[in-house]
Amino acid sequence: MAAKLEGADALRKQLQALSANASGKVIKQAAGFAMTPVVKAARANAPRGDRAHKTYKGRVVAPGFLSRNIVKKSRLSKDKGRALVFVGPKAEAYYGTQFVEVGTKDMPKDPWLDPAYEANKSEVVRRYSGRLKHVIDKVASKQ
């Protein structure tokens, strides 16, 4: 699941005016900021049971464990020109994507993460480009 940002080349050229570390940091922060609506929607969409259950570690957890364990993690590419943001459950709640989202032969799929992204895709692009523009304008005004 990826979104295409129009005008990304122009933004990238403006960001290159910053040092490599600063531009990479800005890209990573903007990408993380942009994915916040997806995290919120995923938490709202995640199925909730009506009783406690055990995780694979043997811990007994209350209903809603999956939604409480949805996180986002941002990574920067080696060339510091691209950011990747992963949204999904922590390891202990892996079943949310491994079984619930995609289903199994004995359990029908119940998608919750993909619809969260699809419903917010345009908002993600708007937030990402808006954050980058804000930072670029801020830096440009100081020069």
Q: Which ranges of 51-112 would DSSP assign to H, the alpha helix?
A: 65-68, 95
Q: Which ranges of 1-143 would DSSP assign to H, the alpha helix?
A: 8-16, 20-34, 36-45, 65-68, 95, 113-142
Q: Which residue has the higher pLDDT, 60 or 81?
A: 60
Q: Which long-range contacts (CB under 8 A, 24 or more apart) does 17-23 make?
A: 17/139, 18/139, 20/80, 21/80, 23/80
When pLDDT is averaged across residues 35-61 and rounded to a whole number, the result is 95
Q: What is the pLDDT of residue 14?
A: 65
List, for residues 81-133, the tens digit of each pLDDT value. Answer: 789 999 999 999 999 999 999 999 999 999 999 999 999 999 999 999 999 88
pTM of the model as a whole: 0.81
Residue 62's CB is within 10 A of a number of other CB atoms, namely 11
